[in-house]
Structure 1
Amino acid sequence: MITVFYDGKCGLCAREINHYRKIAQPDRFNWADVASHPQMLEGYAVSQADALRYLHAVDADGRVHKGVAAFALIWNEIDGWRRFAPMLAWPGVRHVAEAIYALFAHVRFRSYRHCRLAGTAPKMRED
Structure 2
Amino acid sequence: MTTSDSSASTPRNSCTVYFDGACPICSKEIATYQKLKGGEQIKWIDASVCNEQELGTTLDRPAALARLHVRDASGNLVHGAAAFVEMWKHLPALSWITPLLSNRFALSILDLLYNFFLRVRPLWRKA
Bin for the TM-score computed over the shorter chain: 0.7 to 0.9
Look up the match of 1:20. 33
Alignment of 1:38-117 (within 5 A): 38-39=51-52, 40-41=54-55, 43-109=56-122, 112=125
- Per-residue CA deviation, residues 50-86 of structure 1 (Å, 9 max, x unaligned), is 1111100111110001111111111111111011212
TM-score for the superposition, normalised by structure 1:
0.78
Look up the match of 1:125. none
- The alpha-carbon deviation at position 107 of structure 1 amounts to 2.9
Instruction: Tell me if structure 1 keeps the 8 A contact 2:37–2:93.
Output: no
Name whichever structure is richer in helix by fraction: 1
Q: Which runs of 5+ in 2 are unaligned?
A: 1-10
Question: Match of 2:74, SS?
Answer: coil
TM-score for the superposition, normalised by structure 2:
0.78
Q: Which gives a bigger RCO, structure 1 or 2 (Cα 8 Å, sep 6+)?
A: 2
Q: Which runs of 5+ in 1 are unaligned?
A: 115-127
RMSD (Å), alpha carbons: 2.0
CA distance in 2, matches of 1:38, 1:7: 13
Percent identity of the aligned residues? 28
CA distance in 2, matches of 1:24, 1:58: 19
Greater C-alpha Rg: 1
Question: Match of 1:81, SS?
Answer: helix
